[in-house]
Amino acid sequence: MAHKFEIYKDNAGEFRVRFKYNSEVMFSTQGYSQKSSAENAIESIKANGPGAPTEDNS
């Protein structure tokens, strides 16, 4: 699979989510104190992301 979500612990001990495509990090989230919050972030992105509008601020 060329794309995936990863949950990892940062240097501060918080859980973060990053989305990778072909091993390149496309984005990462804020830190969460609980792993379940990071898992909820993934589910929210999956549920709400496909219909999200694009805002061009260029």
Q: Where are the domains of the chain?
A: 3-47
Judging by beta carbons within 10 Å of its beta carbon (0-12, 13-18, 19+), is residue 23 exposed, middle or buried? exposed
Alpha-carbon gap, residue 38 to 7, rounded angstroms:
7
Q: Tell me the longest C-alpha to C-alpha distance in the chain.
A: 36
Tokens 């989305």: give the residue. Answer: 19
Q: List the pLDDT tens digit at each of the 58 positions of the chain.
A: 689 999 999 999 999 999 999 989 999 999 999 999 999 999 999 999 999 999 999 9
* pTM as predicted: 0.85
Surface-to-core class of residue 12, CB atoms within 10 Å of its CB (0-12 exposed, 13-18 middle, 19+ buried): exposed
CATH topology of domain 3-47: Double Stranded RNA Binding Domain (3.30.160)
